[in-house]
Structure 1
Amino acid sequence: MQAWRVHRNGEPSEVMRLEEADRPMPGDGQVLIEVLAANVNFPDALLCRGQYQVRPPLPFTPGVEVCGRTPDGRRVLATPALPNGGFAEYVVADEAALLPVPEALDDAEAAALHIGYQTGWFGLHRRANLRAGETLLVHAAAGGVGSAAVQLGKAAGATVIGVVGGAEKARTAADLGCDLVVDRHTQDIVAAVKEATGGRGADVVYDPVGGDAYAKSVKCVAFEGRVVVVGFASGVIPTPALNHALVKNYSVLGLHWGLYNTEDPAGVRACHDELSRLAAQGTVKPLVSERVALAGAAKAVQRVADGTSTGRIVVLPAGAAR
């Protein structure tokens, strides 16, 4: 089979190589899955760089979530067992962790449902307890993680303010349903949020960016607001000033969604059921901006790493037309 492999750490476009490889062999409790679509995530870039919290042995295949088909014909969502990730024609995954694909979604959309939307749901509901009528501020609102949070925020009855970088991404965020879009390239985030909320600020901030985004967020978070720290796509990990949190009465909440797979797997399945219900209603629909052949995976991962993509880029195996 064909698979992308990383033999040394570095930028994805430089270190990912498309090679012939043996099909992975399933172990006890695992199943071989034909990859129908593999979603590109920012952690794939971090894996290539050797900067992710999990560091598989070299060489490895990146690709942390797929939509695939089991030998008995089921269409499933899976997180492949590294070092044999999803940018390949076949993967293996734990049978117990497989989730059924919502019928409302095609293969590419389904491949983009699991990690991003689970992260959004747990962040907004389990960590921040977002309530209808509250104001939600989403950074990188036109990106893969941010676009999921926008849709889930609207589904929860929140007023959603999306922060983006550039006019094209502003149009995407508006189309997603943001009540207000702030272009950080041309607008003052803090002033815009305070004006939109009558000076109160955002009740919940969803931050997958870190760096300056976090610094601006705590300047416009509401009394008893909640800042959900999802990741650091900017490459800068902020250092919270706890005296500032004390004075303004806001909370800083960490979110590592992967822990729920081990600490609360029943919660992950319950979340998937809810996401499937929302997908059937058309309330959530992953924003797939590009569908690329397997040969284009390295360039796709690099675009996500560089922050130039909108929504999700999904890799399809050679010959797939889904």
Structure 2
Amino acid sequence: MRAIRQHEFGGPEVLVHEEVPWPVPGPGEVLVRVRAVGVNFADTHTRENKYVQKAHLPLVPGQEVVGVRADTGERVVALTKGGGAYAEWAVVPEERCVPLPDGLDDDQALGLLVQGLTAWHLHRTCGRLEGGETVVVHSAAGGTGSLAVQLAKPMGAGRVIATASSAEKRQLALDLGADVAVEPDAEGLTERLVEANGGRGVDVVVDMAGGPGFDASLRALAPFGRIVVCGIASKEQNEVRTGHLLRHSRSVVGFWLFHTLDDPERRFRAPLADLFARAVRGEVRVVVGGRWPLEQAAEAHRALVERRTTGKLVLDVADA
């Protein structure tokens, strides 16, 4: 079968389109004929072996697919285990394989799996959003950010402040439901966020980048405010002083999607069912910002890391 495989760590050029052996499911696993694959920032970190989980070569990248189960013929969305998604066929743990309802197309399902589930938990599980609070969503035009903007008010936010790197991306965030959108540059960001909230500190910040923007956002929090970290796109780690947290009654919370699989029914399947229902009702939509055939995975990675995209990025496999 055809797949993208890498034999070394490095830039997008290490992603090679080649023939690889078919995967064989083991106990508790199912074989899925892949229709489309999601491209995520985590994939770019894995490509360089800088992700939370260390990778091993040779590697077929990717961890989210939409396709058809070989054994039942059901249309499903699924998370793989340790890669293997950038391929015509993928083996996935059965507990990570979720049937799709009628009325939900492949792209919507794919976008809700990683980005949608992340956005759901950022608000509900980690941010513990309360009625009327102000939420800041950084990278608001991206895959996770665009969904976090849409989910914020239905989950209780009173005001949504978005940041995005261009006027076009900020307009997209406004179109998706943000009340105001500001530039994300770290210099002056604290003041812009407070000004956008009527001169008051903000309650919840969703941060995917880290670096100086994290520090500026932390300073913008009101007492009892929370900043939720779900990515380090800047590749710059931050240090937080406990004295600062104590003095200002602020909290820093981390989120890694794969911890939801420790409690799959409550933290994986139930939130996905809620997201699917919202999407079918038209309350939330996945913004598809780019599509590439499987063999052009390297170009998809370049576009993502160069910030040339919005929304969900997809590799088409069915027609590869």
TM-score range relative to shorter protein: over 0.9
What SS does the aligned partner of 1:225 have? strand
> Aligned partners of 1:318, 1:301: CA distance in 2, in Å?
20
State how far apart, in whole Å, the 1-side matches of 2:304 and 2:310 are: 8
Q: How far apart are the structure 2 equivalents of 1:121 and 1:52?
A: 22
Tell me the residue number matched to 1:90: 89
Taking structure 2 as the reference length, what is the TM-score of the superposition? Answer: 0.94
Q: Is the 8 A contact 2:162 2:182 kept in 1?
A: yes
Is the CA contact (8 Å cut-off) linking 2:108 and 2:285 kept in structure 1? yes
Partner Cα distance (2:101, 2:133) in 1: 29
Match of residue 10 from structure 1: 10
For 2:186 and 2:203, locate their aligned partners in 1 and report how far apart those are by CA, in whole Å.
Answer: 24
Q: Structure 1 pair 87/121, CA: closer, same or farther in 2 (3 Å)?
A: same
Tell me the equivalent position of 1:134: 133
Amino acid at match of 2:172: T
User: Which amino acid is 1:93 matched to?
Assistant: V
Correspondence 1:227 to 2:227: yes
- CA deviation after TM superposition for structure 1 residue 264, in Å: 5.0
| Structure 1 residue 108, shift from structure 2 partner | 1.9
- Residue 28 of structure 1 is matched in structure 2 by 27
Q: In the alignment, is the contact (CA less than 8 A) between 1:4 and 1:19 conserved in 2?
A: yes
Shift of 1:161: 0.5
2:109 corresponding residue in structure 1: 110
1:230 maps to amino acid: C
Q: Deviations over 1:251-307 (max 9, x none)?
A: 111112211202454321111111112112211111111122112211102222333
Runs of 5+ unmatched residues, structure 1: none
Q: What is aligned with 1:120?
A: 119
C-alpha distance in 2 between matches for 1:271 and 1:188: 36
Contact 2:80 2:96 in 1 (8 A): no
Q: 2:82 and 2:218 mapped to 1: Cα distance?
A: 37
Whether contact under 8 Å (1:200, 1:223) holds in the other structure is no
Per the alignment, residue 257 of structure 1 pairs with 257
Q: Percent identity?
A: 38
2:247 matches 1:247: yes
Q: Identify the residue that residue 41 of structure 1 maps to in structure 2.
A: 40
What amino acid sits opposite 1:167 in the alignment? A
> 2:78 maps to what in 1?
78
- Whole-angstrom distance in 1 between the partners of 2:302 and 2:7: 16
Q: What is the SS of the residue equivalent to 1:130? A: coil
Distance in 2 of aligned mates of 1:148 and 1:217: 20
Structure 1 residue identity aligned to 2:241: A
CA-CA distance at 1:186 after TM superposition: 10
- Residue ranges of structure 2 left out of the alignment (5+ in a row): none
Instruction: Give the counterpart letter for 2:106 in structure 1.
Output: D
SS in 2 for 1:67: strand
**Which residue does the alignment assign to 2:304?**
304
Q: 1:93 & 1:297 partners in 2: Cα distance?
A: 21
* TM-score between both structures, scaled by the size of structure 1: 0.94
CA positional deviation for 1:185: 4.8
Pair 236,125 (structure 1): closer, same or farther in 2 beyond 3 Å: same
> SS of the residue aligned with 1:178?
coil
CA contact (8 A) 2:185 2:213 kept: no
2:216 corresponds to: 216
Structure 2 match to 1:289: 289
User: Partners of 2:121 and 2:113 in 1: how far apart?
Assistant: 12
Does the C-alpha gap of structure 1 residues 178 and 102 become closer, same or farther in structure 2, counting only changes over 3 Å?
Answer: farther
> 1:152: which partner in 2?
151
Shift of 1:82: 2.8
Quick one: distance in 2 between partners of 1:201 and 1:15?
A: 44
